[in-house]
């Protein structure tokens, strides 16, 4: 019993983790909400090109709000059982999963916008067909993850288990550990839940497969985008500019693509490492620093996405901050900054 109590996170550690989540999730909420608001207010100027960006922003915003609500409840001591974690924490991961899928679609559409060069831009039938495909694609992206979420919740048999007698003084001091909703806290070898190895393995394997697959897919797509642009830079597709503007544009393309991949790596690499460490014999208390790093990195996803997909994109800021130029403004050019 004493070993178990020294292995778990203390009440002070849990409060610190909740503070970290609340503070950094607030940045994500502000970043995502700002992009959502300006996109809605300038919808007529941004047109259909912003539809994907709005969906990405909504997914990040929902994930941040769900995690923030659980962290606030931790601070207020309103969570009396771990039951709420069965619904809230998997739901936040579901929203992040949707965000991952939208990131891949964003990269794919960016590549098509450049390499396809919008040959059929004026084809009404082609545009109608593309809109139908987009509707089906977005419906798939949103409905399938929520279907998987329902399957997970309905089959999840994890319940709180009182492993320490109620008359034990240490349970009063450290009982908050078993009733806290902290991401990945009750995954793996946890003393507060039944031996639900299947669902713990599912969470870990699912995250590893999805995060790595998304990073590799986006890296390959944006690598092709950069190589295509570099190959055609001198082929007459781009205007000849003596001031080096074309070269700066290419540099911005490569930088934007690199940042989009780095966001996934920065936000989720600590979480993957934490999941691996949890399944070892290392005590949770020894992993507290990694819990803090993971909390910071995951919490910042919405904020970083709002930066690399919106506020650091010149075509987006110019459209929403006064010039009112649609994101696709020049049909004779086919570079990344004018694509989405």
Return the structure tokens found at 298. Answer: 């995951």
Q: How confident is the model at residue 25 (pLDDT cuts 50, 70, 90)?
A: very high
Query: How confident is the model over 205-263, as pLDDT tens digits?
Result: 888 899 999 999 998 988 887 777 777 665 555 554 444 555 666 677 778 888 899 99
pLDDT at 41: 85
N residues, the chain: 340
- Cβ contacts of 51 within 8 Å, gap of 6 or more: 134, 138
Which of 45-49, 88-92, 215-219, 264-268 is least confident? Answer: 45-49
Residue 340 CA to residue 39 CA, distance in Å, equals: 13
pLDDT at 192: 66
pLDDT at 2: 41
Phi and psi angles of residue 313, each rounded to the nearest 5 degrees, phi first: -95, 115
Is the pLDDT at 128 greater than 70? The verdict is yes
Q: How confident is the model at residue 161 (pLDDT cuts 50, 70, 90)?
A: very low
Which of 26-30, 202-206, 228-232, 264-268 is least confident? Answer: 228-232
pLDDT at 226: 76
pLDDT at 93: 92
Query: How confident is the model over 168-202, as pLDDT tens digits?
Result: 444 434 467 777 788 888 776 666 655 456 667 77
Measured torsion, CA atoms of residues 163, 169, 173, 176, in degrees rounded to the nearest 10: 30
Q: What is the mean pLDDT of residues 146-157?
A: 83
Q: Which of 22-26, 120-124, 168-172 ranks highest by mean pLDDT?
A: 22-26
Given a contact cutoff of 8 angstroms between Cβ atoms, the answer to whether 213 and 252 are in contact is: no
pLDDT at 222: 86
pLDDT at 124: 60
pLDDT at 84: 74
Report the CATH number that the domain containing residue 101 is assigned in CATH. 1.20.1070.10
User: Regarding predicted confidence, which is higher, 74 or 175?
Assistant: 74
Q: What is the mean pLDDT of residues 57-76?
A: 92
121 class by beta-carbon count within 10 Å (0-12 exposed, 13-18 middle, 19+ buried): exposed
Q: What is the mean pLDDT of residues 22-30?
A: 97
Q: Which of 54-63, 83-92, 327-336 ranks highest by mean pLDDT?
A: 54-63
pLDDT at 54: 92
Q: How many domains does the chain have?
A: 1
Domain that holds residue 201: 2-338
pLDDT at 31: 96
User: Regarding predicted confidence, which is higher, 258 or 331?
Assistant: 258
Q: Which of 74, 62, 66, 64 is nearest to 19 (CA)?
A: 74
Given a contact cutoff of 8 angstroms between Cβ atoms, the answer to whether 340 and 53 are in contact is: yes
Q: Which residues pair with 160 in a beta bridge?
A: 193
Own/partner contacts of 319-325, CB < 8 Å, gap of 24 or more, are 319/42, 319/45, 319/46, 320/38, 320/39, 320/41, 320/42, 320/45, 320/46, 324/42, 324/45, 325/45
pLDDT at 333: 43
pLDDT at 98: 96
Average pLDDT, the chain: 77
User: Regarding predicted confidence, which is higher, 163 or 271?
Assistant: 271
Own/partner contacts of 117-121, CB < 8 Å, gap of 24 or more, are 117/237, 117/334, 118/328, 118/331, 118/334, 121/331
Percent of all residues in the chain with a pLDDT value above 90, rounded to a whole number: 33
Q: How confident is the model at residue 8 (pLDDT cuts 50, 70, 90)?
A: confident
Q: Which residues pair with 193 in a beta bridge?
A: 160
């Amino acid at each position: 019993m004493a070993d178990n109590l020294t292995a778990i996170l203390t009440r002070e550690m849990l409060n610190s983790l909740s503070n970290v989540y609340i503070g950094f999730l607030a940045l994500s909420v502000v970043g995502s909400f700002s992009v959502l608001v300006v996109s809605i207010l300038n919808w007529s100027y941004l047109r259909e090109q912003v539809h994907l960006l709005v969906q990405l922003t909504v997914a990040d915003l929902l994930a941040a709000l769900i995690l923030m609500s659980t962290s606030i409840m931790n601070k207020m001591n309103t969570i009396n059982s771990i039951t709420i974690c069965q619904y809230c924490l998997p739901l936040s991961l579901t929203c992040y999963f949707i965000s991952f899928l939208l990131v891949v679609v964003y990269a794919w559409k960016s590549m098509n916008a450049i390499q396809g060069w919008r040959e059929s831009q004026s084809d009404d039938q082609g545009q109608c067909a593309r809109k139908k495909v987009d509707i089906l694609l977005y419906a798939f992206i949103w409905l399938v993850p929520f279907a998987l979420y329902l399957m997970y919740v309905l089959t999840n048999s994890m319940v709180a288990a009182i492993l320490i007698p109620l008359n034990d003084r240490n349970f009063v001091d450290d009982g908050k550990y078993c009733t806290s909703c902290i991401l990945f806290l009750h995954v793996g070898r946890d003393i507060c839940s039944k031996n639900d190895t299947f669902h713990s393995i599912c969470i870990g394997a699912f995250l590893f497969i999805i995060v790595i697959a998304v990073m590799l897919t986006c890296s390959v797509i944006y690598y092709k985008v950069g190589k295509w642009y570099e190959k055609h830079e001198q082929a007459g597709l781009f205007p000849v500019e003596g001031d080096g503007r074309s070269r700066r544009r290419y540099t911005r393309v490569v930088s934007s693509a690199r940042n989009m991949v780095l966001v996934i790596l920065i936000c989720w690499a600590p979480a993957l490492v934490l999941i691996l460490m949890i399944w070892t014999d290392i005590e949770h208390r020894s992993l507290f620093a990694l819990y803090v790093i993971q909390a910071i990195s995951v919490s910042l996803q919405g904020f970083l996405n709002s930066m690399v997909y919106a506020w650091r994109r010149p075509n987006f800021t110019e459209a929403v901050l006064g010039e009112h130029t649609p994101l696709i403004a020049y049909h004779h050019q086919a570079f990344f900054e004018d694509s989405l």
